[in-house]
Amino acid sequence: MRLLWWREAIDKIFANKLTEHPTAQALSSLIYEHKINKGWLTRSIEARINDAKREVIEIPETSEELERYAEDTVSTILYMTLQAGGIKSTTADHAALHIGKASGLLLLLKSLPYHASRSRQFSYIPAKMAAKHGLLVNQGGQMEICMDSREHLCDAVFEMASVANSYLQKARELAGIVPEEARPVLLPAVPAQVLLDSLRRAHFDVFDRRLARGILGIPPLWYQLKLKWHSLCGKY
pLDDT at 209 over 90: yes
- CA 236 vs. chain centroid, Å, equals 16
pLDDT at 121 over 60: no
Residue 28 and residue 34: Cα distance in Å, rounded? Answer: 10
Model confidence over 60-84: pLDDT tens digits? 888 999 999 999 999 999 999 999 9
Mean pLDDT of 25-46: 93
> Domain containing 140 — which CATH number?
1.10.600.10
pLDDT over 90, % of the chain: 74
Please give the pLDDT value at position 140. Answer: 66
Residue 209: inside a domain: yes
Number of domains in the chain: 1
Residue 2: inside a domain: no
Residue 222 and residue 109: Cα distance in Å, rounded? Answer: 22
Assign 218 to helix, strand or coil.
Answer: strand
Residue 129: inside a domain: yes
Mean per-residue pLDDT of the chain: 91
Residue 73: inside a domain: yes
Please give the pLDDT value at position 59. Answer: 76
Residue 229 and residue 235: Cα distance in Å, rounded? Answer: 8
Please give the pLDDT value at position 56. Answer: 55
Q: Is the dihedral of CA 46, 51, 54, 58 positive or negative?
A: positive
At 175, the pLDDT band (50, 70, 90 cuts) reads very high
Residue 49: inside a domain: no
pLDDT at 4 over 80: yes
Using an 8 Å Cβ cutoff, are 195 and 107 in contact?
yes
Residue 148: inside a domain: yes
Q: What are phi and psi of 146, to 5 degrees?
A: -90, 130
Assign 21 to helix, strand or coil.
Answer: coil
Residue 19: inside a domain: no
Model confidence over 125-173: pLDDT tens digits? 888 888 898 887 776 666 677 766 788 999 999 999 999 999 999 999 9
∠ CA 74-181-236, rounded to 5°: 55
Residue 24: inside a domain: no
**Cα-trace Rg, the chain:** 19
pLDDT at 123 over 80: no
User: What's the domain range around 80?
Assistant: 56-233
Mean pLDDT of 5-27: 92
